[in-house]
Amino acid sequence: MRNSLRLATALAGVCLLAAPASADTLKEALTRAYQDNPTLEAARAQLRATDENVVIQRAQGLPSVNTTTTYSEFLVQNSTSFIAPERQLNASVDLGVPLYQGGAVKNGVLAAENRVDAGRADLRGTESSVFADVVAIYMDVILNEALVSLSANNVEVLSINLEATSDRFEIGDLTRTDVAQSESRLAVARGDLQTAEANLVNARERYIALVGTAPTDLQPPPPLPGLPDSVQMAVDVALESNPDLIAAKERADAAGYDIEVAGAGRLPTFSAFTNGGYQNFLGTLGAVPGATADQTATSATAGVRMTLPLFQGGRVAAQQRQATAQAEAALEQVIATERSVIAQTRAIYSSWRAANAIIASSQAAVDAAALSLEGVRAENTVGNRTILDILDAQQELLRAQVQLVTARRNAYVAGFNLLAIMGKAEARDLGLGDEGLLYDPVVNYDRVRGIIWDWQRDPEPEADSSRTVDIPPADGEVPDEDPLDEFGTEIIDYSDTAPPPLETPESNP
């Protein structure tokens, strides 16, 4: 009967943890940031601006139509002319069709398309960066909530210890020194609690700034998908998929086309043209006696124009040399980015493995420190240990617990950063929404690429992200209903979600 009651109580607790009334998950936080983060929204808008460069470059190879209208009043007539008009209206229409421009249009469009691809890679990088920040602050909130609970429990334990020490001092069992030691440790613990609460407020406010909502009962994060088995695997994936490296390569390709665009300035250009004109003297054109003057006239011309630059003062050569130097700089930037990606990947991988190893050692330290504290307290009752020994053992347990929850946070954040540097921490990789809900940069590119009407324009610009001014300020309190471990301190256990330590192959550095 009692076992059945315990089982029913345990199952009820599991149900409450599985479906909290008002809890936030990491996936929900990432989804909100994906839909509402101003940094990410700005990056999308910047990419839309980059899309227009293709249209601008392509427009230089399309026909152009211009019209000119002139109305003139002749204030002083020619004294030698008997038919001089008093006023005149002229109108003309000019049509120009570029036929050949030395390859400038073609290469300009290709360069713009490469820069669009680079912009898309930049957007991927911004997305990964925002997600990495969200994961870090999400885990910081969980960590600081744990540290506040640990500090609060430490204050409570030291307060009880001070009361017991004072009582024993009253009956002469302990000295004033023992009481002073207990008071000192309690005062320090209260200061640490204030610091922990301030750090929790800081973490929660940064969460609001990134996600756009206040954190509510953050749940343990899910396991990270696709973590590499070795550092070399991580580097190989990063070299293929890292968005910063892809963007650098696309910009280098675009810079190569810029050289051809600059060199086109020395080549001949061909264009076809046609012109129609209309002239009206508005009844003011005189005529010789006995004749009638025609007040209107029309004209039309058509032809082909060739322009061949003969001398431009070295401007074209300088522009091409400049473009060549910029292309060399872009190629060097590819190497620099590649080096940075390799170094960061190896460093993050090492940090991730170290954090996982620290989790295991810290858990062992917590178990040992708890056993030590229990033994010191027992030995104190028979006079073999002092009050200072108890205080030191309590502090040692607290340090081990802090190290454990910190290592759990660091392992998860390092694991996510590893995915980000590998180019595998984007919305599609994390399953943040259906395909139809994800932002597709190609949609805007396809929309604007074919627009040739000069009077088309988009709606007036407005911010899409929400403001956080109405969100109440965060506090440093931790709900009382949070689960407590057997030592009376809150340790949020997400070790099962952290990647397990990996065995490093001997061939790996």
pTM of structure: 0.84
17 pLDDT band, cuts 50/70/90, is very low
Q: Which of 31-40, 277-286, 420-429, 477-486 has the lowest mean pLDDT?
A: 477-486
**pLDDT at residue 144, as a whole number:** 94
Beta strands per DSSP E along 37-140:
64-73, 87-100
Among 214, 139, 122, residue whose Cα is nearest residue 423: 122
- pLDDT for 1 beyond 90: no
The answer to whether residue 243 sits within a structural domain is yes
- pLDDT for 9 beyond 60: no
Q: What share of the chain is helix, strand, coil (3-state, %, to 5)?
A: 60, 10, 30
- Which value, to the nearest 10 degrees, does the dihedral of the CA atoms of residues 335, 338, 340, 343 take? -120
Q: What is the pLDDT of residues 219-270, one digit of tens each?
A: 999 999 889 999 999 999 999 999 999 999 999 999 999 999 999 999 999 9
Q: How many domains does the chain have?
A: 1
The answer to whether residue 318 sits within a structural domain is no
The answer to whether residue 250 sits within a structural domain is yes
Residue 450: Cβ-neighbour burial (10 angstroms; 0-12, 13-18, 19+)? exposed
23 pLDDT band, cuts 50/70/90, is low
The answer to whether residue 111 sits within a structural domain is yes
Give the Cβ contact number of residue 9 at 10 Å: 10
Domain encompassing residue 124: 29-72+96-271+326-453+464-497
Q: Confirm if 34 and 427 have CB atoms less than 8 A apart.
A: yes
CATH of the domain at 153: 1.20.1600.10
**DSSP-derived secondary structure letter, 305:** E
**pLDDT at residue 290, as a whole number:** 63
Q: What is the mean pLDDT of residues 393-422?
A: 94
Q: Confirm if 137 and 33 have CB atoms less than 8 A apart.
A: no
Residue 424 tokens read as: 């595998």
Q: Pairing mode, if any, of strands 296-307 and 64-73?
A: unpaired
The answer to whether residue 376 sits within a structural domain is yes
Q: What is the pLDDT of residues 116-172, one digit of tens each?
A: 999 999 999 999 999 999 999 999 999 999 999 999 999 998 999 899 889 888 888
The answer to whether residue 297 sits within a structural domain is no
The answer to whether residue 4 sits within a structural domain is no
Q: Which of 5-19, 298-312, 346-360 has the lowest mean pLDDT?
A: 5-19
Check residues 205 and 382 and name the one with the higher pLDDT. 205
The answer to whether residue 178 sits within a structural domain is yes
**pLDDT at residue 22, as a whole number:** 52
**pLDDT at residue 303, as a whole number:** 94
Q: What is the pLDDT of residues 430-456, one digit of tens each?
A: 888 765 689 999 999 999 999 999 899
